[in-house]
Amino acid sequence: MPNLILQECRRKAGTIAYIVLGCSMTWASAISAQEFQTEQENTEVILAPDAFSPYAGRNFPQRPLWGDSHLHTSVSVDAGTMTRLTQEQAFRFARGEEVTTTHGLRAKLSRPLDWIVVSDHAEMYGLMPQLLAGDAEVLATPQGKAWYEALTAGDPQLAFTTAMEIVASLSDDEPPIDNPKAIKHAWEEYTELADSYNEPGVFSAIIGYEYTTEGANNLHRNVLFRDGQFRANQTRPFSQYDSKNPEDLWAFLSEYEERTGGEVLAIAHNGNLSNGRMFSMNAYDGSALTEEIASLRSRFEPLYEATQIKGDGEAHPFLSPEDEFADFDTWDAANLNGTELKRPEMLAGEYAREALKRGMLVEQELGVNPFKFGMVGATDSHTGMATAQEDNFFGKHSGVEPEPNRWEHLVIEAPDPDLSIYGWKQAAGGLGGVWAVENTREAIFDAMKRKETYATTGSRMVVRFFGGYDFTAEDASLRLPADAGYRKGVPMGGNLTNAQEGKSPNFLVAALKDPLSGNLDRIQIVKGWVDENGDTQEKIFNAVWAGDREMDADGKLPDVGNTVDVENATWTNTIGSGELIGVWEDPEFDPALQAFYYARVIEIPTPRWTAYEAKRFGVEMPNYVPMVTTERAYTSPIWYSPS
């Protein structure tokens, strides 16, 4: 049997990273030069009998495609009051080109993205560029004429006051400028632009927009189209001026699909700022949830945006007190603009893990799980630039682009100054990893529908997660995790049923570090279930970890350590591991109980964007400003059902 063929792909800090060509998922392994010979001698490739090439016959996803499903440009009314970057510049930046920011800085990604959704707000779509250009249709409205004159009068204070007035108008029940023709024109310009930047196999420009409802209570959704401009132009963005009820959005999307033959999905985000409303157990109007409403949500919302600039939404320490990693980039003082204080009882309706548990309860009552979603990360950047890397973070909006004191700049003002959000609170995340069979709109959309996705807080670690009943330790040692994963089980987003007599679900999980980020600390399996009394439960299991640490009697691991040099904004990968892979079996499985499982991958500590900022500009920040972060990934769950 031939030895593995390995190709050197990167040298850094005395370590050689290799791509293993003989494996079914092009799994990469970071190993030292001294270990290379041993790796060659001890590992073999299993080839199909009729194929010399181990790649022949593979029809499953080979690598994660990285993208951002939530990006705003000058076309969004709120972003357009500050940023001047256009939708075209957003596409160019995502593809890896250099752009000049609103305030004249040169900006470029460390690595291009594979796909992007420029998801400008549906409300008065395209107003700001039209207004600033003196568009005749916009100026024909009294409000448009007044705003144009104020913005172009040459008075900076008047222009700022007017811009804030325009943003505040998004909370009104009626649009201050009701111009369907202008919206239609802006939408069709965008869909044509997206088609022109869409290059199958190279870069996917996915058409989409944001439905922004309930303002500060954040029941917002991003709507994504599988199709191009031909079908997308047969509709127009559905906004809160049409209805503030998300149930009406789902009905609108259903009508679009039936009328056009197209496909759409919606991704909810920032439940952490919804003050308990995002994952309510009731309908929007407070009445009992019905099977019809639950079915519509399940159909059109297969994913949830679990992490982004406005905080992390996976878990909360109040809900998960035994989880030492739950308190991460937590925004939990109030709703979005600080007009309603957060109460502890609200938290259960805001976080992904609790929603996954709630969904199983609803399913037991109605037969449908409205919260059976996968995970994705995104930025929600309002700068036109999808920047999620800590050392390349350009902020929520153009008012907080990099400069010496942006850490203390006001980002979101609240009536109570103690509830206002300042620059340092922003999180430099996140990204969506999609296991699509090819880089096309259709393949990415299909992967999202089947929930074969995962969220990261900005790092591009590679994560595989499969569930089944027959995985063995050998599957994790033969360097063929995807081959075994798809052959023996289901990938992230999948379902397991009918456990065999005497068998528990087991999971093949693997993670490879981002070469530009930190080593890996551990992989955890998060389990949620409904117990025999009808109560929801959760438990976190350490499945695979770096080093020779040993778990204590409670299943806890010693801390991995911290090599961050805050003063110089750097760290050393002398702790942790470049790769983690293993098979984990549920030791507490009850075949009669519903459950879900997802993997959480934790990196070793690395510098936060604030540390890079302090170093670059030579500024000193107060002790309450965090300087260290632990990047992480959340996979979509795998669900178990007794039948």
Model confidence over 109-168: pLDDT tens digits?
999 999 999 999 999 999 999 999 999 989 999 999 999 999 999 998 898 889 889 888
pLDDT exceeds cutoff 90 at 592: yes
pLDDT (0 to 100) of residue 62: 93
**Beta carbons within 10 angstroms of residue 28's beta carbon:** 21
Q: Which residue shows structure tokens 């990006």?
A: 71
Backbone angles phi, psi at 392, to 5 degrees: -140, 35
E strands along 281-423, which residues? 303-308, 311-312, 374-377, 410-412, 421-422
**Mean predicted confidence (pLDDT) in 60-86:** 96
Question: Cis bond leading into 430, ω under 30°?
Answer: yes
Whole-angstrom distance, CA of residue 178 vs CA of residue 308: 31
pLDDT tens-digit map of 335-357: 999 999 999 999 999 999 999 99
Q: Which amino acid is at 291?
A: E
| More reliable by pLDDT, 98 or 173 | 98
Q: Are 490 and 638 contacting, i.e. CB atoms less than 8 angstroms apart?
A: yes
pLDDT tens-digit series, residues 456-487: 999 999 999 999 999 999 999 988 899 999 99
Q: What is the band of 57 on the pLDDT scale with cuts at 50, 70, 90?
A: confident
Closest to 374 measured CA to CA, from 633, 585, 201: 633
Strands of 119-256, DSSP E: 204-211, 221-225
Distances (CA, A) of 327 to 64, 331, 519: 27, 10, 21
User: Average pLDDT of the chain?
Assistant: 91
Mean pLDDT of 161-183: 89
**pLDDT tens, position by position, 17-51:** 323 323 333 343 333 333 333 343 344 444 456 76
Q: Give 635's strand partners.
A: 454
> How many CB atoms lie under 10 A from the CB of residue 195?
15
Q: Specify whether the backbone of 200 is left (phi greater than 0), alpha (psi in -120 to 50) or beta.
A: beta
Whether residue 75 contacts residue 85, with contact meaning beta carbons closer than 8 Å, is answered with no
Provide the total of helices (H) and of strands (E) in the chain, helices listed first: 16, 29
pTM score: 0.91
Mean of the pLDDT values across residues 514-540?
98
For residue 487, the model assigns a pLDDT of 95
Q: What are the tokens at 457?
A: 């807080």
> For residue 467, what are the contacts with CB-CB under 8 A and spacing of at least 6?
489, 490, 494, 496, 505, 506, 507, 597, 638, 640
Residue-wise pLDDT for 207-216, tens only, equals 999 999 987 8
Contact 509, 543 (CB under 8 A): yes
Residues 6+ apart with CB under 8 A from 471: 484, 488, 489, 506, 507, 508, 583
The per-residue pLDDT for 603 is 98
Give the span between the Cα atoms of 183 and 163, in whole angstroms: 19
Strands 632-635 and 638-641: unpaired
The DSSP bridge pattern shows strands 628-629 and 595-603 to be unpaired
The more confident residue out of 530 and 7 is 530
Sign of the torsion formed by the C-alpha atoms of 191, 221, 130 and 89: negative
User: What is the residue extent of each domain of the chain?
Assistant: 1-58, 65-128+180-448, 464-641
